[in-house]
Amino acid sequence: MSTPHADEILQSLDIAVDSSGVVSGVGVETWSSSGGEPIESRDPTTGAVIARVRGADRASYDRVVDAARVRFEEWRMRPAPARGEAVRRLGELLRAHKRALGALISLEVGKIRSEGLGEVQEMIDICDFAVGLSRQLYGRTIASERARHRLMEQWLPLGPVAVISAFNFPMAVWSWNAAVALVCGDTCVWKPSPLAPLCSVAVHNLCQQALAEHDAGGALSLCVGGAELGGWMADDDRFPLVSFTGSIPAGREVATRVARRLGRSLLELGGNNAAIVLDDARLDLAVRAITFGAAGTAGQRCTTTRRVFVQRGLAPRLREALVRAYGSIEIGDPLADGVLMGPLVTPAAVDAYRAAVATAREQGGEVLTGGEVLDRPGNFVTPTVIAAPAHDRFPIAWEETFAPILYLFEVDDLEQAIGWQNAVPQGLSSAVFTESMRAAEQFLAACGSDCGIANVNAGTSGAEIGGAFGGEKQTGGGRESGSDAWRAYMRRQTATVNWGDELPLAQGVRFL
Ligand code: NAD
């Protein structure tokens, strides 16, 4: 292990590395520990290999999924508040290990320390939410048209859920699914990103401790691997639901395979998020929100601000303020004090950044700040602002490049800004900055933002767990986390009870 913090972080999480540098998770039936090739975990800050994690082969994958099915038969019959107790314990363990888990996120995917800690806090928050939810899985009673009949709608556990997650929220995305699915009575098998296997092992080990204390081993399990393993899950009839978070092309493939077997998929795919800044906006708010939204997490959030539509009157001041704010972003080791931007996740991500900047220039964009790959170990680039020509003549802005590149467009008015914002295929997050109540309401109306998330005087990035999270169009339509997103993890049953002596038929039909 050649990264300075790595030993300490792994030890503080009781992650055992054997003499050949391979890490194992705990549990036999909950962890695909045999057969597959070890997957390398690399530190994006130095490029060094941190450790290797054993991947799943087909036999160990089948064993884990079978165990999740067996556990489901029992788990679904426990009262939901009792299921919530296991989630409560998981939340306690996450609290106790918050600092180390946050540091591991920084180590493995390059998030700065406070964002790594924020991601762990998000897991804690969703556990708290799920504990409360375990007493609120409400159904409805409906007035029956038949005498002495009761008509009701109830929600029942669905089955084992496959959770396939992306690298950029290597723990939190799993927790949005797992904490809620558990209280709903489902079991979960997690396939994390192969770019963040250590994060998944750390969380898995804490899960096994929490579940063991509640005699619920097997309710949460882990299979480490890449796209092939994800494909097995998509095709697997043992999963009534596949929850997929990742890029649009991979999501399209997963959704197609799940649909072929008439399974259900929950899709959280790529975004291409915009902030609209009107002439009357508070410039200070807009600049802070855009800078965090565009350069935070090195531009590697699904909700990253990628496009800004600024009204012409404010455009010169916004440009200048953004360039100044970008100049103050310290780049470096994500665990070092004062650093605001860490590395990109892989050298391939650096290549995609470089290619997008070059294409933007070819298409008429002017780099106002950034645009450089840093000459140092690790995957470091500079956060970039590009003044763009008209949106319809700048196709690079229609794609999601997973890097800190912000395109700045000038617009005449709110209508043009909303039109351009909504023109792209993705529909995740959006924001408007204005002091006008009328403009804010227009942005939130049916003629306004077409995204799953729409904010006024708050940036595109940084959602709370209380709301349902997700987006429209090619972002996939899924909703996870808070509000009533839990319904995706249950099956709905309409039940009628006749407590009378007659058998009236609905719609007045007479028979016999
Ligand atoms: P990715 O699509 O490369 O990988 C995501 C996951 O899918 C990984 O676990 C990967 O191994 C697996 N996978 C890849 N191809 C697959 C296939 N053909 N079949 C089955 N599984 C497959 O994405 P990434 O680079 O890890 O993450 C970045 C992307 O995820 C961005 O597009 C980002 O916007 C998106 N994302 C979306 C949300 C959201 O909530 N909408 C959240 C986080 C990330």
d(CA 427, CA 429): 6
d(CA 437, CA 280): 11
Q: How far is CA 305 from the centre of its chain?
A: 16
Q: In the predicted model, is pLDDT for residue 170 greater than 80?
A: yes
Look at 1-5, 23-27, 190-194, 412-416 and tell me which has the smallest mean pLDDT: 1-5
Residue-wise DSSP of 309-335: EEEGGGHHHHHHHHHHHHHT--BS-TT
- Which residues carry out catalysis? 268, 302
d(CA 354, CA 403): 10
Q: Is 298 left (phi over 0), alpha (psi -120 to 50) or beta?
A: left
Look at 4-18, 156-170, 182-196, 436-450 and tell me which has the smallest mean pLDDT: 4-18
Residue-wise DSSP of 459-506: -SS---TTSEE--EETT-S--EESTTGGGGGEEEEEEEEE-SSS-PPG
User: pLDDT > 90: what percent of the chain?
Assistant: 93
Q: Lay out the sheet containing 188-191: strands in order across.
A: 220-222, 188-191, 161-164, 241-245, 264-268
Q: What is the pLDDT of residues 319-377, one digit of tens each?
A: 999 999 999 999 999 999 999 999 999 999 999 999 999 999 999 999 999 999 999 99
For position 62, what pLDDT does the model report? 95
d(CA 473, CA 356): 23
Strand duo 468-469 + 480-481: pairing: antiparallel
Q: In the predicted model, is pLDDT for residue 31 greater than 80?
A: no
Average pLDDT of the chain, as a whole number: 96
For position 312, what pLDDT does the model report? 98
d(CA 315, CA 321): 10
Give the closest residue to 109 by CA, choosing from 245, 271, 295, 300: 300
Q: In 308-413, where does DSSP find H-type helix? A: 315-327, 347-362
CB 190 within 8 A of CB 163: yes
d(CA 387, CA 410): 9
Q: How many residues does the chain have?
A: 512
Residue among 269, 379, 401 to mutate when testing ligand 1 (max atoms within 8 A of CB): 269
405 CA → ligand 1 middle, Å:
19
d(CA 223, CA 25): 10
For position 37, what pLDDT does the model report? 83
**φ, ψ dihedrals at 65, nearest 5°:** -70, -40
187 CA → ligand 1 middle, Å:
22
**φ, ψ dihedrals at 207, nearest 5°:** -60, -45
Amino acid occupying residue 369: T
CB 426 within 8 A of CB 472: no
- Domain ranges, ordered by start, for the chain: 6-269+476-492, 273-465
For position 36, what pLDDT does the model report? 78
Q: In the predicted model, is pLDDT for residue 2 greater than 60?
A: no
Q: From residue 95, give the alpha-carbon distance in Å to each of 85, 100, 208, 461.
A: 15, 10, 16, 24
Q: What is the pLDDT of residues 230-265, one digit of tens each?
A: 999 999 999 999 999 999 999 999 999 999 999 999
Residue among 119, 176, 193, 351 to mutate when testing ligand 1 (max atoms within 8 A of CB): 193
Ligand 1 contacts CB of residue 402 (under 6 A): yes
Helices and strands (DSSP H and E) totals, the chain: 14, 22
**φ, ψ dihedrals at 403, nearest 5°:** -160, 165
Task: Give the 3-state secondary structure of residue 126.
Answer: helix
| pLDDT band of 34, cuts 50, 70, 90 | low
Atom of ligand 1 nearest to the CA of 267: 41
Look at 15-24, 214-223, 271-280, 483-492 and tell me which has the smallest mean pLDDT: 15-24
Give the closest residue to 371 by CA, choosing from 389, 357, 361: 357
Q: In the predicted model, is pLDDT for residue 32 greater than 90?
A: no
244 CA → ligand 1 middle, Å:
7
Q: Does this model's pTM top 0.75?
A: yes
| pLDDT band of 416, cuts 50, 70, 90 | very high
Ligand 1 contacts CB of residue 169 (under 6 A): yes
Q: In the predicted model, is pLDDT for residue 30 greater than 90?
A: no
Query: For the structural domain made of 6-269+476-492, what CATH number should be given?
Result: 3.40.605.10
Residue nearest to atom 26 of ligand 1 (CA): 166
Q: Which residues contact 94 (CB under 8 A, 6 or more apart)?
A: 101, 120, 123, 124, 127, 206
For position 3, what pLDDT does the model report? 65
Quick one: average pLDDT of 406-411?
98
Beta bridge partners, 480, equal: 469
Quick one: average pLDDT of 463-470?
96
For position 1, what pLDDT does the model report? 45
- CATH fourth-level superfamily of 273-465: Aldehyde Dehydrogenase; Chain A, domain 2 (3.40.309.10)
Give the closest residue to 160 by CA, choosing from 179, 187, 178: 187
